[in-house]
Structure 1
Amino acid sequence: MVKPTIGRRTMREFYRLLETGSVQTIYQPVMPFSGRCAVGYEALSRGPVPYLASPMTLFEIAEQVQVSPQLDAICCRRAIENFPMKSREDALLFINLLPETLEMGGVDANMLSAWTESSGIAPGRVVLEVTEKQIADPARFYTAVANLRVQGFRFAVDDVGTGYSNLSLLADLVPEFFKLDLEFVRLTRARPVRQLLVETLVRFAGQIGAMVVAEGIETDEDAEVFRLLGVPLGQGFLYRPA
């Protein structure tokens, strides 16, 4: 597939973002289906101007100019610094990280520990979301994971139900959270076989001490379906961002 040409204005703004770290963060709540208080918030990064507002656009540009780990580190740091629930000691902060960033040391245990300490957030409150996409060097990736776990950081496997997060990542990473992909979630209400799969994942998660999060929850009906399937947590447009 031919990648679209990036305009000069867009590139100027992108490089200015890298220089200034001017990333904005929206925090989407992760809600218990059986309660009203969020257990945590996922940090969603946005650019400072409309044509860089989409995180997909930001990271597509970063990939083309080979600065993905640099952008990832900026987004991660801003997510920690701007977290509005710092004083709520039971509130988790979910942050997406590319495997490439961990493999190349764009973000490491020392950096994250320094950022969380300066923001007054215990490492155990930070959940790093990863997928199997672009794991080029498993040895380096899992070494970085081990170093982060020593510091107390936790992990989530994102996009479960897509090709980016297969069973080997669930087994090898042993995450604290499984996050069901929103497209998988949208089809589950109408497909009983998918519901059986969700119930199986919930049981497996319980056996390794993990919790399942259903992404893409848009209606009360969505929430009820996954509550009945035993999924404890949901995330999506049904819940207002912080």
Structure 2
Amino acid sequence: MTLFQSAQQLAIAQNLQAFFQPILELRGDVLRLTAFEGFAHGADDSFLGTPDLMGAPGDGAMDRTLLDVACLTRVLRAGGELPDSTLLSLNVHTSTLALLPEFPVFLSECAAEAGIPLTRLILELNVQSGSGQGTEHLDVLEDLRAHGVGVALDDVGVRETNLDQILEIRPDILKLSPLLTRGLLRDPRRQAILEALVDMTRKMGGRVLAKNLESVEDFRIARWMGVTLLQGYLFGVPGPIALWKEHPFPQEWHLRSFMRRPARLVQPPEPISRDRIH
């Protein structure tokens, strides 16, 4: 049985569901829909939350890795119904890439089944503590890059995602930890760190994404600091594919029009907590 088949079977057995949240790009005075981040949601919530909570305590590394790729199969299958003009960001752990040298073939099979070109995919990397990985994940990333897959590094600024990871992985996108983006208006220290990260990333040829934005005030500060990729409840909460098909997300707004809209532009029937998202 191939990795692809095993992952599909686990996704069905665990009743994994896919949820998507929009990512916007700021160009001048216009906000444009540029991507969706896909999340996996388990029926019993057993593998939601931080990377350290993936799987039950005591599960082996390969069990957690199989669960990781099972989540990807479910998100990709549902993501095939998203607009062709948008990118799709997929969560994956660096340990999964290290343990599965066949990951590029697996991702190609999943994307082909969903009808999504690899050039529309972004791998959003989570770095796990105590993974004991060497450089195997870097070899896998180089293979994926050669096929047009983008790379984002999640939770930059906290835990294991620090400067050494940035140097090794060379991400196209730095996704800032919410600890750096909440309360920006009233915290000059956060503003100074954000400004430095934006400047560093620009010089390295990448871009910064501010996630978990919930207030117009924090959005304004992030904009002044030079952040051009934005995600959070201010713009839209995670919802199932049916929500985005029934209520297509607007392709763009002018900032003046956006500022007059309510804080939550799209509200799914049963929003899921930020603390319970894979």
* TM-score, normalisation: structure 2: 0.73
Q: Does 1:29 align with 2:22?
A: yes
What is the CA-CA distance between 1:156 and the residue it aligns to?
0.5
Residues 84-122 of structure 1: per-residue CA shift (max 9 Å, x gap): 554423x11111111111111186001111111222212
| Aligned counterpart, 2:222 | 226
| Aligned counterpart, 2:99 | 104
- Give 3-state SS (helix, strand or coil) of 1:184's partner: helix
Decide whether the 8 Å contact of 1:212 with 1:231 is kept in 2. yes
| Aligned counterpart, 2:272 | none
What is the CA-CA distance between 1:139 and the residue it aligns to?
1.9
What is the CA-CA distance between 1:20 and the residue it aligns to?
2.6
Q: Unpaired segments of 5 or more residues in structure 1?
A: 1-15
Greater Cα shift, 64-73 or 33-42: 33-42
Where do 1:1-242 residues align within 5 Å?
Answer: 20=13, 22-33=15-26, 34-48=29-43, 51-52=44-45, 55-56=48-49, 59-62=53-56, 64-66=58-60, 67-83=63-79, 86-89=82-85, 91-105=86-100, 108-134=103-129, 135-240=131-236, 241=238, 242=244
| Aligned counterpart, 2:241 | none
| 2:39 maps to amino acid | L
Q: Unpaired segments of 5 or more residues in structure 2?
A: 1-8, 239-243, 245-278
| 1:55 maps to amino acid | L
Counterparts of 2:42 and 2:33 in 1: how far apart (Å)? 26
Greater Cα shift, 136-145 or 221-230: 136-145
Residues 184-228 of structure 1: per-residue CA shift (max 9 Å, x gap): 211433221221221121122112221110011012112111011
Cα distance 1:19–1:119, how it changes in 2: closer, same or farther (>3 A)?
closer
What is the CA-CA distance between 1:183 and the residue it aligns to?
2.1
| 2:160 maps to amino acid | Y
| 2:122 maps to amino acid | V
- Give 3-state SS (helix, strand or coil) of 1:144's partner: helix
Cα distance 1:230–1:57, how it changes in 2: closer, same or farther (>3 A)?
closer
Cα distance 1:52–1:17, how it changes in 2: closer, same or farther (>3 A)?
farther
Decide whether the 8 Å contact of 1:123 with 1:152 is kept in 2. yes
| 2:123 maps to amino acid | L
User: What CA RMSD, in Å, does the superposition of the two structures yield over aligned residues?
Assistant: 2.3
Amino-acid identity (%): 26
What is the CA-CA distance between 1:32 and the residue it aligns to?
2.3
Cα distance 1:188–1:138, how it changes in 2: closer, same or farther (>3 A)?
farther
Counterparts of 2:50 and 2:32 in 1: how far apart (Å)? 32
Counterparts of 1:238 and 1:140 in 2: how far apart (Å)? 38
| 1:101 maps to amino acid | T
Counterparts of 2:230 and 2:89 in 1: how far apart (Å)? 13
Alignment coverage as a number of residue pairs:
224
The structure with the largest helix share of the pair is: 1
- Higher RCO, 1 vs 2 (CA within 8 Å, ≥6 residues apart): 2
| 1:161 maps to amino acid | G
Cα distance 1:27–1:35, how it changes in 2: closer, same or farther (>3 A)?
farther
Greater Cα shift, 100-109 or 117-126: 100-109
- Give 3-state SS (helix, strand or coil) of 2:128's partner: coil
Cα distance 1:100–1:107, how it changes in 2: closer, same or farther (>3 A)?
farther
Decide whether the 8 Å contact of 1:127 with 1:154 is kept in 2. yes
Decide whether the 8 Å contact of 1:73 with 1:107 is kept in 2. no
What is the CA-CA distance between 1:57 and the residue it aligns to?
8.5
- Give 3-state SS (helix, strand or coil) of 1:103's partner: helix
| 1:196 maps to amino acid | A
- Give 3-state SS (helix, strand or coil) of 2:196's partner: helix
